[in-house]
């Protein structure tokens, strides 16, 4: 199955929450959520070794292994190797497996990461591979050093695998725009063609992406998968924004958006998904969830009729950028 067939509705399923992000998700609930995604026609699934330190990939396998591999599209990530050594955890995945993570963006590390993901997923191949979190939010001042390691290692390795037809596409999977902008300006033989941009092209947060990343992507013929379209649930009333505790100013931002949505009888979920997928460079949006019922909601939100007056109001109140392509 190709990307176009898998993404007829431009929506896939992100599995970060199924790695026990923020809470201990019961196994049955996680499996039922994945099954609900499949039963409602989702055929693109994104995962990563980082999500629960292997847990999300293992849970995904329990459902997808029941179906022919050619009937769905699968992406995972490289840059972190899940070791057998254990350690105490805190932060995003404190409730996940205790396996220690080793950061490795070299060629050997990239091939090892892919091999391990294939083992956990019990599959023969990945369709897309994203180089995960070579970005200031994870590596601080060391991110450029990590980026250079990836440029010489992961980028060249994944470009070769793409040229050989082993994978269809590769790119970066990050929560900031600068690494993607930098990667798009590299020489052709190590340039990504499909990147996963999380949190940066959303209804709440998109001005920075529209300044350089999105126009450059169109010039370079690069496409995007958009992750975390609700900014870690903030847009839907959650307690986190971009994987951290939400601040009062972000809550106020959400309330301004909600006020306009209520005036037009529009759901913010629909506005968020349709906004992110309206940009011509975006191939798919991948909301994640641990609740089976949310899958049906997401699909309905993609089909919800949103009046143009709603978007005009957001523009007039300067709640969205005038540079943003809007849903028709």
**DSSP per-residue letters across 174-212:** ESSSHHHHHHHTS-GGG--SEEEEESSSSSSS-HHIIII
Predicted confidence band of residue 3 (pLDDT cuts 50, 70, 90): low
Catalytic residue among 77, 89, 168, 283: 77
Task: Write down the pLDDT at residue 132.
Answer: 98
* Per-residue pLDDT tens digits for 18-29: 999 889 999 999
- 76, pLDDT greater than 90: yes
- 256, pLDDT greater than 90: yes
Active-site residue, 51 included: yes
- 44, pLDDT greater than 80: yes
Sign of torsion, CA 137 95 203 214? Answer: positive
Once rounded to an integer, what is the mean pLDDT over residues 65-72?
A: 96
Cβ distance 288 to 16 under 8 Å? yes
- 1, pLDDT greater than 90: no
- 2, pLDDT greater than 70: no
Average pLDDT, the chain: 95
Give CA–CA dist 135/107, Å, rounded: 19
Give CA–CA dist 108/106, Å, rounded: 5
Q: What percent of the chain has pLDDT over 90?
A: 90
Instruction: Mean pLDDT check: name the lowest of 8-22, 36-50, 299-313.
Output: 8-22
Active-site residue, 77 included: yes
Catalytic residue among 9, 10, 46, 146: 46
Give CA–CA dist 100/78, Å, rounded: 15
Q: Which of 200, 220, 226 is nearest to 44 (CA)?
A: 226
Active-site residue, 46 included: yes
Give CA–CA dist 242/198, Å, rounded: 9
Give CA–CA dist 109/91, Å, rounded: 24
* Per-residue pLDDT tens digits for 115-169: 999 999 999 999 999 999 999 999 999 999 999 999 999 999 999 999 999 999 9
Once rounded to an integer, what is the mean pLDDT over residues 175-196?
A: 94
pTM for this prediction: 0.96
**Measured torsion, CA atoms of residues 98, 103, 108, 114, in degrees rounded to the nearest 10:** 50
Catalytic residue among 44, 51, 72, 243: 51
- 8, pLDDT greater than 80: no
Predicted confidence band of residue 184 (pLDDT cuts 50, 70, 90): very high
**First CA to last CA across the chain, in angstroms?**
28
């Amino acid at each position: 199955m190709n990307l176009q067939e898998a993404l007829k509705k431009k929506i896939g399923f992100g599995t970060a929450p199924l790695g026990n992000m923020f809470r201990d998700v019961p196994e049955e609930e996680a499996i039922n959520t994945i099954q609900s995604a499949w039963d409602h026609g989702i055929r693109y699934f994104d995962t990563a070794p980082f999500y629960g330190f292997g847990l999300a990939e293992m849970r995904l396998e329990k459902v997808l292994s029941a179906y022919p591999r050619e009937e769905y599209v699968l992406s995972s990530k490289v840059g972190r190797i899940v070791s057998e050594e254990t350690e105490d955890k805190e932060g995003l995945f404190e409730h996940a497996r205790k396996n220690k993570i080793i950061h490795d963006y070299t060629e050997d590390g990239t091939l090892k990461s892919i091999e391990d993901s294939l083992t956990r997923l019990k599959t023969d191949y990945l369709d897309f591979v994203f180089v995960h979190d070579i970005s200031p939010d994870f590596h601080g001042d060391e991110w450029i050093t990590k980026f250079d390691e990836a440029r010489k290692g992961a980028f060249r390795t994944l470009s070769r695998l793409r040229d050989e037809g082993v994978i269809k596409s590769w790119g970066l999977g990050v929560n900031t725009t600068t690494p993607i902008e930098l990667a798009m300006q590299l020489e052709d033989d190590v340039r990504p063609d499909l990147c996963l941009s999380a949190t940066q092209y959303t209804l709440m947060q998109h001005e920075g992406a529209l300044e350089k990343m999105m126009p450059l992507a169109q010039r370079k013929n690069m496409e995007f998968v958009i992750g975390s379209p609700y900014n870690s649930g903030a847009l839907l009333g959650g307690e986190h924004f971009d994987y951290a505790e939400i601040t009062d100013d972000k809550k106020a931002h959400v309330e301004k958006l909600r006020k306009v949505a209520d005036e037009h009888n529009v759901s913010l979920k629909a506005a968020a998904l349709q906004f992110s997928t309206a940009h011509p460079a975006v191939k798919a949006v991948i909301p994640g969830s641990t609740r089976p019922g949310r899958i049906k909601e997401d699909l309905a939100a993609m089909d919800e009729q949103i009046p143009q007056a709603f978007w005009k109001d957001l523009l007039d109140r300067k709640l969205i950028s005038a540079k943003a392509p809007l849903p028709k």
